[in-house]
Amino acid sequence: MPALERNQQFDRYRIIQSLGNGVSGESYEAVDTMLQRKVTLKLIHPWFTLPDSAHRQFFREMQGISMLNHPYLAATLDYGEIDGRLYVVRRYLSNGSLLSNAGRLWFKPPLDVEDAIQYGHQLAQALDYIHNCGYLHGAVTFSNILVLQGPNVDHEPGYAPFLLADVGLSNYVRRFGQPQIKLLPITAAPEQIGKRVTPASDQFALAVLLYFWLAGRPPYIGTTEEIEHAKLTGAFPPLFSLNPEVSYEQEEVIRRALSIYPEERYPSMEAFADALVATLTPPINTAPPTPSPIPHPEQSLTLEQMLDALAKSSPSVFQPGIQLPPEAPFSAEEAPTYQEKEIIEMEIQAGQVEQHTQVTQVTQPIAIPRLQIKWLSGGETREYLLEHKEILLGRAGSDDVLLDQDSSISRHHALLKYEDDRYLIYDQRSSSGVFVNGEKLTDETGRALADRDHQKWVSLRKTHLIKNGTYPQ
């Protein structure tokens, strides 16, 4: 599909200029003509049309992601589909990302240790919030950490210069599309090489960023193969050998978050964040053990050259022999970092979606009722968590459960409502009706979909709904 042009109208958005390409799509500076404000408009996977199943999954995921609200997250303002093009709109920041001119000037590493840990703690809080809401970021990189303001020169408490953007977008494109950038970013965790993404993958990515801020270089340097080998063997220089201001306790916290295996990292982003802040208290006078020499590739770049490589994503010594496609320029906001062009091709099949979008809680989970849907004409059973007291089912894009495979399903077909410790189902004046165990519902009468001892079958024409009998505690 052709790129959007300057002054072109895209629904209510007027294009000002292109901001560049990334893994998930093309970004533009635009004006929301309805609300008269600048925004960043991102076309998702615009190089060719995704299948209908991928479009449905986009709306399912964005319906929840768009509701995320945290002080360290760049809010999603709008999302949808126009002329077959998926898009997401978020807040526009003129300073760009950590790879912009402002970001490189203001936050040139190595940063002050306390500032770096405070910034890392804030981003960890945002990621912990995302995980607790049941989502993953999946691609925390230098290019989606937006710069809200300059460095904390006055040492103000609670100073927050960054916003984390683009939750789940790159991960979505890798699972359902064919990204033009085929390699994983330098911040990708070892398990992502094997096409696995977990909450601990976001923890690893943040630890890579912290290491860069404190050491003035990433933990892994070399060719694609050398970087992959270093990640899979845990070979990187000790932080305090590169920055004597880093304490032994801080070294240990970041080293644990960079563990090869996810289960060896901190059990949650909250635990990682707490461990980081705890290192800012005055340490006990214990001399750190002399580290064993760890082999790592020699590097001959200056710091400025490394930052240039970050912003321009040039082949350089970090990626010898890798060239970007000429039709995919990168701007300061969207440019990939060292391996933002990516280390390993990762194409996750659509059948694996649930294991990546459902986050396993580390603490004792509360039992959440689940809704299973099976089409009688065939296909796999789908499962949804019922996290709200009212759940709409139908073909409308605003419905909580989207059932658009059959035109006989009404736009708002049925309502699930949690009453008296159970879910009841109501017909929403649908054209083909709602049946519970063969009995058709009236418009006013709700029927219990399940109780604590058994399940009931509900029919929406060609669809069977199975309500699992687990309830909130």
- Report whether pLDDT(369) > 50: yes
Percent of the chain with pLDDT over 70: 72
CATH topology of domain 8-280: Transferase(Phosphotransferase); domain 1 (1.10.510)
Q: Are 27 and 130 in contact (CB under 8 A)?
A: no
Q: Are 172 and 24 in contact (CB under 8 A)?
A: yes
Among 98-112, 298-312, 334-348, the range of highest mean pLDDT:
98-112
| Of the candidates 180, 182, 200, the residue with the CA atom closest to the CA atom of residue 190 | 200
Spell out the domain ranges in the chain.
8-280, 370-459
Name the pLDDT band for 153 (thresholds 50, 70, 90): confident
CA–CA separation, 406 and 45 (whole Å): 26
- Report whether pLDDT(330) > 70: no
Which of 91-95, 147-151, 418-422 is the least confident region?
418-422
Mean pLDDT of 129-135: 95
What local confidence, expressed as pLDDT, does residue 230 receive? 94
**Single-letter code of the amino acid located at 425:** I
Between these two residues, 459 and 4, which has the higher pLDDT value? 4
Quick one: tokens of 66?
Answer: 């768009």
Between these two residues, 233 and 334, which has the higher pLDDT value? 233
What local confidence, expressed as pLDDT, does residue 417 receive? 84
Quick one: tokens of 193?
Answer: 């090489």
Name the pLDDT band for 378 (thresholds 50, 70, 90): low
Output the pTM of the full model.
Answer: 0.61
- Report whether pLDDT(163) > 70: yes
- Taking only the tens place, the pLDDT of each residue in 441-472 is 876 678 887 544 334 456 665 555 655 444 33
Which of 43-57, 76-90, 128-142, 419-433 is the least confident region?
419-433
CA–CA separation, 84 and 52 (whole Å): 10
What residue has token string 């479009």?
Answer: 55
How is residue 273 annotated by DSSP? Answer: H
Q: Are strands 145-147 and 447-448 parallel, antiparallel or unpaired?
A: unpaired
CATH topology of domain 370-459: Tumour Suppressor Smad4 (2.60.200)
* 3 state SS of 122: helix
Name the pLDDT band for 250 (thresholds 50, 70, 90): very high
What local confidence, expressed as pLDDT, does residue 443 receive? 63
Mean pLDDT of 285-294: 42
Q: How many CA atoms lie within 13 A of 351 on its CB side?
A: 2
Residues 6+ apart with CB under 8 A from 372: 381, 382, 383, 384, 465, 466, 467, 468
- Report whether pLDDT(294) > 60: no
- Reported as type and span, the H/E element at residue 55 is helix 52-65
Name the pLDDT band for 290 (thresholds 50, 70, 90): very low
**Single-letter code of the amino acid located at 211:** Y
What local confidence, expressed as pLDDT, does residue 147 receive? 96
What proportions of the chain, in percent to the nearest 5, are helix, strand and coil?
25, 20, 55
What local confidence, expressed as pLDDT, does residue 60 receive? 93
